[in-house]
Amino acid sequence: MAGRILIADNVATNRIVLKVKLSSAFYDVIQAASGQQALEAARSEHPDLIILDAQMPEMDGISVCEALRADPITEHIPVIMITSSSDTTSKLRALKAGADDILFKPLDELTLLARVRSLLRACGTADELRLRASTCRELGFAEAQAGFEMPGNVALIAAHKETALRWRSLLESKVSDRITILSRNEALQSLYNGPMPDMFIIAGDLDHPDEGLRLLSELKSRTETRYTPVLMVLKQPSHSQAVVALDLGASDLISDDFDPEELALRVKTQIKRKRQSDRLRETVQDGLRMAVIDPLTGLYNRRYALPHLGHIVERAYQTKRSFAVMILDLDRFKSVNDSFGHAAGDEVLIEVAKRIRENLRGVDLLARIGGEEFLIAMPDTSLSVARIAAERLRHAVEQTEITIGAVPKSLSVTLSIGVAMGDGKSHNLTELLARADRALFTAKSDGRNQVTVNLSAA
């Protein structure tokens, strides 16, 4: 499944219609018929996203959203509020309560699914950062402190300077951030000249229709601005442009006839999230680099891998989702060292690590846990996907010979891989690793250069 979504609505027909739409896109859907049920399901089922009806009796959507944000267990879950009231007051109340977006009835299915994809993508990245940061804390590294927050830098990019000046005048009295006006070219040039903006606000149409979307795509493709939030200002109605913007990586959308307070709320939310993710990223990057990174391959080492794998096991237990663990070992690696020396062996390890890394997802754990032994954990992965991934890794190492600087000929190396599946029902990390190790032993015994799966608990 692509993600777990909780639908909270007291009208059964509404829940069923939404479930059909989301299930057809292969989302795992759970339901709640009241606000209280929604809070209980959010705590127990750990959904990746909540779709919440605003007009529920007893406990309405606003109250539910406020309760979700006040609970450390649920405060990070993104919320889409669904309402039939399109007035500005209702929208502002939902945003102030912590809703990530507000969609109006009748729902446009393409826009809904695009917003779901966008929020799940952002949530997945944030969850992974928090998971890695928690591993850092267990290893004794302090999380980066918030300290005194300097005003942010918000860049405005509109079709005409007059429009940008109007946006700035509307924002200046409601936010403390520094607001600058840039052209499209200046926004791209700024990547190389001075500090990056903390957020971009871009019109969907600049000098030409959809040129703002092309700029969004450029910014999201560049390392310097990949994590910088972008709020797109779109003309209404513009469902197709909204869908494209979200799928290109826009963090948020607003119509060009926006209420200034709504724009200010959305800006504050995006700046806050950017700073939180920056702090988490700093914790992971700076705190770990020297202590838990293997200096030869640049991969995580055993000291980091085992605690982090423990967190993956715990999260799988909470969400009841399967995951894969693999132990990989280079075949007859001792002969490389004996024949060509340890320097050549090091070059082989570096190249093999590179090939493995290139064939994994960003959320997968990859570590070097021994001389020529590697560990992989793939969260939210089925047995069939794990088999395909393991074979892809084996093939990536086998298919191309490795050129070594001090060796007159290229070397061919192969991998044996043992796979074990975690089913989300057990906390026993030791037993899981033992099963993966037994599968690796079988792969070696049966002739090497192959993948073996231990099915005893899959």
What residues are labeled active site?
372
Structure tokens belonging to residue 417: 């891989």
Alpha-carbon span 389 to 61, nearest angstrom:
41
Question: Which of 141, 78, 122 is closest to 282 using CA atoms?
Answer: 141
Structure tokens belonging to residue 373: 């032994």
Looking at residue 161, its amino acid is K
Three-state secondary structure of 67-106: HHHHCCCCCCCCEEEEECCCCHHHHHHHHHHCCCEEEECC
Asked if residues 122 and 269 have their Cβ atoms less than 8 Å apart, the reply is: no
Alpha-carbon span 393 to 390, nearest angstrom:
5
At residue 421, the 3 state secondary structure works out as strand
Q: Where are the beta strands (DSSP E) in 259-401?
A: 323-330, 365-368, 373-378
| Packing angle, helices 211-221 and 239-248, rounded to 10 | 10
Asked if residues 36 and 59 have their Cβ atoms less than 8 Å apart, the reply is: yes
- The sheet carrying 230-234 orders its strands as 178-181, 153-157, 199-203, 230-234, 252-255
Alpha-carbon span 26 to 3, nearest angstrom:
8
Asked if residues 374 and 356 have their Cβ atoms less than 8 Å apart, the reply is: yes
At residue 325, the 3 state secondary structure works out as strand
Alpha-carbon span 159 to 209, nearest angstrom:
10
Parallel, antiparallel or unpaired: strands 365-368 and 230-234: unpaired
Asked if residues 228 and 195 have their Cβ atoms less than 8 Å apart, the reply is: no
CB atoms within 10 A of CB 396: 16
